Amino acid sequence: MSDETTPHTGRGQRLLSDPHVAGVAALIRAAARPPRGAGRIALALAIGALTHLAFAAGVLAMILAMFFGMSESFGRVPAPWNWLVNAMLILQFPLAHSVLLTPRGGRLLARLIPGPHGKTLATTTYALIASVQLLALFALWTPSGIVWWRAEGAVFWAICTAYAASWLLLIKASFDAGAEVQSGALGWMSLMGRIAPRFPDMPTQGLFRVIRQPIYVAFALTLWTVSVWTPDQLMLAVSFTAYCLLAPRLKERRFAARYGDRFARYRAEVPYVVPRLTRRDPDAQ
């Protein structure tokens, strides 16, 4: 028998040695073999199931609503009030999203679930709130009824391909940032395994090697690669693109405070949202 490892085995070993993958694997192992505590386990499973169902519903509502250029939804607010309500639906997501990421917002999240487990479940609670916000935005939107343009034929399929690619980029970027945090699994799985939530390290691998904010860039791409254009879609795309350009500045302040010189070096080497066409020479003066 040869001692040489196959390329497939080598790739598997490298994957398992990745700190992020290893952290996710350890979290799954802890949740799969929970210590005794029926009440704790029931709470973890209940809020985990609720969060992931809300997450799936919110993402599905977003994919479908934007695929049709926000021309199909369940909102029925009469004009002209529909524009005000739609604007409020847009604003509620970034405002709450940003506030809950502040230290005060973190303390609030830890108190939302009564009892001793609120702090452990804070990341899951945050994901649940964000998912409900997304679902409300895209399910309760009131369409204007105006359609400016609808792609047809080969153009339709080309745009659909770009739309799907944008979503795949968003999924990849979310995984690179820490799938357990982005999906809300970190909190409930930590509670399940009765361990302290362990956040992934500062993301620098995958798409984060190319730009510092791949999640926001991929999200912005989903806004503009739709096959139906309406005033509603334009309103949404402009608003959230502005958010995707500005909101990461607050995130980077938190990273600068948390990681110090390490983040400063990363910021100096990796561009914000536009990839460099040429590789920087580290020996250049």
pLDDT at position 211: 96
| Number of residues in the chain | 285
Q: Of 19, 39, 29, 43, nearest to 187 (Cα)?
A: 43
pLDDT at position 55: 96
pLDDT at position 6: 57
Q: Alpha-carbon distance 135 to 143, whole Å?
A: 15
pLDDT at position 150: 97
pLDDT at position 279: 60
Give the angle subtended at the CA of 122 by the CAs of 121 and 123, to the nearest 5°: 95
- Residue by residue, pLDDT tens for the chain (285 residues) are 445 555 555 555 555 556 677 778 888 998 999 999 999 999 999 999 999 999 999 999 999 999 999 999 999 999 999 999 999 999 999 898 888 888 889 899 999 999 899 999 999 999 999 999 999 999 999 999 999 999 999 999 999 999 999 999 999 999 999 888 989 999 999 999 999 998 888 999 999 999 999 999 999 999 999 999 999 999 999 999 999 999 899 889 989 999 999 999 999 999 999 998 766 544 444
pLDDT at position 282: 45
Token look-up 């169902």 returns 53
pLDDT at position 101: 83
What does residue 156 show for φ and ψ, rounded to 5 degrees?
-60, -50
pLDDT at position 88: 97
Tokens of 110: 């830890």
Q: Alpha-carbon distance 157 to 169, whole Å?
A: 18
pLDDT at position 102: 84
pLDDT at position 17: 58
Tokens of 239: 């608003």
Token look-up 């302040």 returns 253
Contact (Cβ atoms closer than 8 angstroms) between residue 222 and residue 237: no
Give the angle subtended at the CA of 210 by the CAs of 204 and 213, to the nearest 5°: 70
